[in-house]
Amino acid sequence: MPAAEATKQSQGGASSVVYQGATKRYGHSSAPAVDHLDLEVEAGEICVLVGPSGCGKTTSMRMVNRMVELTEGDILIGGESVKKRDAARLRREIGYVIQQVGLFPHRTITQNIATVPQLLGWDKERVRARTAELLALVGLDPELGDRFPVQLSGGQQQRVGVARALAVDPPVMLMDEPFGAIDPINRERLQNEFLRLQAEIRKTVLFVTHDIDEAIKMGDRIAIMKQHGRVEQYATPSEILITPANEFVEDFVGSDRALKRLSLMRVGDISLWRAPNARPGQSTAEVRAELERPDVEVPYALLVDERERPQGWLTKRDLSGDTVPATADAPLGPVLETSDVMRDALADLLQGESMYAPVVDHNGRIAGILSIEIISEFLNSPVAATEEQSAVERPLAPDRASEIAADE
Amino acid sequence: MNSGLLGMPLAAVGEVGEGFFKHRTGATLPCQARPAHLFCWDWATEHINRFGTPALQQFELVVISVLIGFAIAFILALIAHRFKPLQFPLLAGTGVLFAIPSIAFFMLLLPITGRGRETAIIALSAYTLQIIYRNVMQGLNNVPDSAKDAARGMGLTERQILWKVELPLAIPEIVGGIRIATVSTVAIATLAVFANAGGLGSQIYSSSNLVFPTAIIIAGAIAILMAFAIDLVLLTAQRFATPWRRAASEAVP
């Protein structure tokens, strides 16, 4: 392999992927597996293809690296038609991760990761440096490099699968249910790791799953597919949850879509309530006066220390003296952080059987109060949430749009 | 038998004779003269040299036949792997060859190749085809689809997939086939004597052995040892060629 090609293929960055009437028909069967698919995936985004089994999502994904050959139409990567490329060379520039991982059992972890660099004729030193870098990138102990795949756990194997796909820094990654065969705890960990990694490497990712929760979590944009690769809605996760385009999408997303929206938000993203803060030794009259103010939503005062860290809730009896006592009568209950996901925050509130919970920033300082009421208001106001999502491009379905207008 | 005795230095005969009379008190005849005697140690130690050449011939027959058989079967398997519809016809074809009785095979070849080593090697190679072909096919078919899919998806060409993924992973089955073929060829090669190709069979199929089986036992033992030795060499080679299999058995997750 000429050196020029090797450098060209390790340019990094990301490329857009554009489907133009992409169609796949097997044999002479009347119904195509994928029927005139038009889809634009922006460079650096994770596009999740999700839908029931047999909807053509995997076929659509595999057309990109020509594992499935197009019958009609075209796919452009960075503006260039995949049909013009030699299939094997095209594939070396596209990361490929599958559910069964597909590590080569007879090659060590390092050798597995080095597969494509070796195909491209990288010299030994460069391959060695890159494999070490990748092991670190996916959070694997460098000592594992000399092991064989069978000596690794399922989660570790898929980390190697991701590292192997990233070996030559491809502009596009194809991931076919990459975490589908991994137990729930490790799946969540791998999902989070991949999102962290993606924030750094910013690849264009086509991610196939049948799990709408995974799609909502992983996708910058989600394409919900029905039979024959027909896209029912292509939008951001929050838009799909707030304004499903039709009944199919609504059913697919599930009746708990309101709750699912909570997993897209963090506590710090919402406007919190405030409670009067009281320091030990402060005059209770001052605190009582503050409780009367109309802009204070919480009817209890919060005891904080000198560094504004919440200590407990003050009851009427606590405030009956002249000065605020050093300890509060009522326990603090759950304490949330601004970085907590709303869904978890709600769970904590319910678990603690509290109406209110103090929210602290990363220094432990009080940032506000989250209440059940705030969450319920958030769930009832689709407009507020849509405004928070700047990336919404697809127009709302007419009936939905009028509903929202009425709410306003 | 006489030729063997004549070939021995007289001194050697004398020594053996002394030992014989010293240890077998009461015996009046050397054991080879007593038909009921299954194994005659004295005869064996005296005549062991006569097995050298036949053993070497046998070894050559086995190695050459298995090598030729492997080469042909391997190529057939690769063809069948590429063109799947040929899998069954080739299996059936090698199966027919395998089913021909060996002596009949030699007789069939006589008009074409005459009596001699070539005839024996042709027949013996033909017998290995079925075993090796079947094992190579099995090895290739056992390669996990996910590994092949990943290989293709990463941009390996069909040929690279074959040589870098499929064949290395099929090594255990391929070597397994060669091992079975070798052991069975060691046994069948004793019949090569009927094609006038020598081998240990020359020491087995002799009319006098019907009443004096010692030579049969010695030739048989040599054949068994030969089979074991070759098998051990192949097994060791396989171990070295497939370190990942050892890793699998030592795996401590």
> Which is more confident, A331 or A102?
A102
Which of A102, A119, A150 is opposite residue B150, by nearest beta carbon?
A102
Per-residue pLDDT, B106: 81
Which of A103, A150, A165 is opposite residue B248, by nearest beta carbon?
A150
Taken in order of first residue, the domains within chain B and their CATH numbers are 53-240 (1.10.3720.10)
What's the full length of chain A, in residues? 408
Give dist(CA A297, CA A369) in Å, integer: 9
Average pLDDT of the segment spanning A18-25: 93
B168 contacts in chain A (CB < 8 Å):
106
- Per residue in A104-117, pLDDT (tens digit) is 999 999 999 999 99
A115 contacts in chain B (CB < 8 Å):
151, 154, 156
Closest CA to B238 of B168, B158, B138: B168
Q: Which of A10-19, A263-272, B98-107, B230-239 has the highest mean pLDDT?
A: B230-239
Name the residue of chain B whose CA is nearest to A113's CA: B154
- Per residue in B196-217, pLDDT (tens digit) is 777 777 777 776 666 667 778 8
- On whether any CB of chain B is under 8 Å from the CB of A174, the answer is yes
Asked whether the beta carbons of residue B154 and residue A151 sit closer than 8 angstroms, the reply is no
Say whether pLDDT at A66 is over 90. yes
Distances (CA, A) of B77 to B132, B147, B176: 9, 20, 15
Name the residue of chain B whose CA is nearest to A161's CA: B150
Asked whether the beta carbons of residue A150 and residue B151 sit closer than 8 angstroms, the reply is no
Say whether pLDDT at B132 is over 90. yes
User: What DSSP character marks residue A228?
Assistant: G
Instruction: Extract long-range pairs of B206-215: CB within 8 Å, 24+ residues apart.
Output: B208/B1, B211/B35, B212/B32, B212/B35, B212/B37, B212/B40, B213/B38, B213/B39, B214/B32, B214/B37, B214/B38, B214/B39, B214/B40, B214/B43, B214/B44, B215/B47
Distance from CA of B95 to the nearest CA of A (A): 32
Give dist(CA A110, CA A107) in Å, integer: 8
- In which band, very low, low, confident or very high, does the pLDDT at A9 lie, cut at 50, 70 and 90? very low
B156 contacts in chain A (CB < 8 Å):
88, 115, 119
Asked whether the beta carbons of residue A90 and residue B155 sit closer than 8 angstroms, the reply is yes
Percent over 70 (pLDDT), chain B: 81
CA B241 vs. chain centroid, Å, equals 22
Asked whether the beta carbons of residue B153 and residue A67 sit closer than 8 angstroms, the reply is yes
Give dist(CA A383, CA B88) in Å, integer: 66
Distance from CA of B133 to the nearest CA of A (A): 22
Tell which of B161, B173, B244, B245 to mutate to test the A interface (max A CBs under 10 Å). Answer: B244
Average pLDDT of the segment spanning A5-11: 40
Asked whether the beta carbons of residue A91 and residue B153 sit closer than 8 angstroms, the reply is yes
Per-residue pLDDT, B107: 82
User: Which strands sit side by side in the sheet containing A301-304, from one edge to the other?
Assistant: A277-278, A301-304, A310-314
Give dist(CA A52, CA A33) in Å, integer: 13
Query: For the ranges A205-219, A333-347, B13-27, B221-235, which has the lowest average pLDDT?
Result: B13-27
- On whether any CB of chain A is under 8 Å from the CB of B146, the answer is yes
Give dist(CA A313, CA A327) in Å, integer: 9
- On whether any CB of chain A is under 8 Å from the CB of B3, the answer is no
Say whether pLDDT at A319 is over 50. yes
Asked whether the beta carbons of residue B144 and residue A100 sit closer than 8 angstroms, the reply is yes
Per-residue pLDDT, A4: 41
Distances (CA, A) of A181 to A185, A212, A252, A318, B148: 12, 16, 22, 55, 18
B165 contacts in chain A (CB < 8 Å):
104, 106
- On whether any CB of chain A is under 8 Å from the CB of B156, the answer is yes
- Per residue in A322-346, pLDDT (tens digit) is 888 888 888 888 899 988 888 889 9
Give dist(CA A315, CA A328) in Å, integer: 8
- On whether any CB of chain A is under 8 Å from the CB of B247, the answer is yes
Distance from CA of A104 to the nearest CA of B (A): 6
- The SS3 of residue B150 is helix
Average pLDDT of the segment spanning A256-262: 80
Rounded to a whole number of angstroms, the CA Rg of chain A reads 26
Closest CA to A32 of A54, A61, A65: A54
Give dist(CA B93, CA B129) in Å, integer: 10
A116 contacts in chain B (CB < 8 Å):
154-155
Give dist(CA A202, CA B79) in Å, integer: 44
Asked whether the beta carbons of residue A115 and residue B154 sit closer than 8 angstroms, the reply is yes
- On whether any CB of chain A is under 8 Å from the CB of B124, the answer is no
Give dist(CA B40, CA B139) in Å, integer: 46
Average pLDDT of the segment spanning A13-40: 89
Tokens read off for A187: 């799946």
- On whether any CB of chain B is under 8 Å from the CB of A118, the answer is no
- In which band, very low, low, confident or very high, does the pLDDT at B165 lie, cut at 50, 70 and 90? very high
ipTM value > 0.90 = no
Question: How many of the other CB atoms lie within 10 Å of CB of A305?
Answer: 12
Size of interface A-B (CB pairs under 8 A): 86
Asked whether the beta carbons of residue B154 and residue A164 sit closer than 8 angstroms, the reply is yes
Distance from CA of A110 to the nearest CA of B (A): 13
User: Which strands sit side by side in the sheet containing A94-98, from one edge to the other?
Assistant: A94-98, A172-176, A204-209, A46-50, A221-225, A231-235
Instruction: Extract long-range pairs of A379-387: CB within 8 Å, 24+ residues apart.
Output: A379/A258, A379/A259, A379/A261, A379/A262, A381/A407, A382/A242, A382/A243, A382/A407, A383/A407, A383/A408, A385/A238, A385/A242, A385/A261, A385/A265, A386/A238, A386/A239, A386/A242, A386/A243
Whether A150 contacts B248, CB under 8 Å: yes
- On whether any CB of chain A is under 8 Å from the CB of B163, the answer is no
Per-residue pLDDT, B211: 64
Question: Residue type at A193?
Answer: E
B150 contacts in chain A (CB < 8 Å):
96, 98, 101-104, 161
Tokens read off for B20: 């014989």
Asked whether the beta carbons of residue A101 and residue B155 sit closer than 8 angstroms, the reply is no
Give dist(CA B20, CA B25) in Å, integer: 9
Q: Which residues make Cβ contacts (< 8 Å) with residue A169, sequence separation at least 6?
A: A10, A11, A12, A201
Query: For the ranges A56-60, A340-344, B44-48, B224-228, which has the lowest average pLDDT?
Result: B44-48
User: H-type helices in A82-183, by residue range?
Assistant: 87-92, 109-113, 115-119, 124-137, 154-165
Give dist(CA A35, CA A220) in Å, integer: 24
- On whether any CB of chain B is under 8 Å from the CB of A102, the answer is yes
Taken in order of first residue, the domains within chain A and their CATH numbers are 3-235 (3.40.50.300), 268-377 (3.10.580.10)
Name the residue of chain B whose CA is nearest to A89's CA: B155
Asked whether the beta carbons of residue A98 and residue B146 sit closer than 8 angstroms, the reply is yes
- Per residue in A133-189, pLDDT (tens digit) is 999 989 899 999 999 999 998 889 999 999 999 999 999 999 999 998 888 888 888
Helix A372-380 to helix A342-351 angle, to the nearest 10 degrees?
A: 140
Per-residue pLDDT, B15: 43
Read out DSSP for B71-133?
HHHHHHHHHHHHSGGGHHHHHHHHHHHHHS-HHHHHHHHHHHH-SSHHHHHHHHHHHHHHHHH
Give dist(CA A25, CA A75) in Å, integer: 16
Asked whether the beta carbons of residue A115 and residue B251 sit closer than 8 angstroms, the reply is no
Distance from CA of A4 to the nearest CA of B (A): 18
Percent over 90 (pLDDT), chain A: 47
Name the residue of chain A whose CA is nearest to B248's CA: A150
- The SS3 of residue B198 is coil
What are phi and psi for residue A400, nearest 5 degrees?
-65, -45
| CA angle, residues A148, A154, A157, in degrees to nearest 5 | 45
Q: Look at the block and give the residue holding tokens 């009427």.
A: A316
Distances (CA, A) of B63 to B29, B66, B106, B184: 42, 5, 19, 12
- On whether any CB of chain A is under 8 Å from the CB of B40, the answer is no
User: B105-139 burial string, b = 16+ CB within 10 Å, else e?
Assistant: bbeebeeebeeebebbbbbbbbbbbbbbbbbbbeb
Distance from CA of B245 to the nearest CA of A (A): 8
Whether A61 contacts A173, CB under 8 Å: no
Whether A373 contacts A348, CB under 8 Å: no
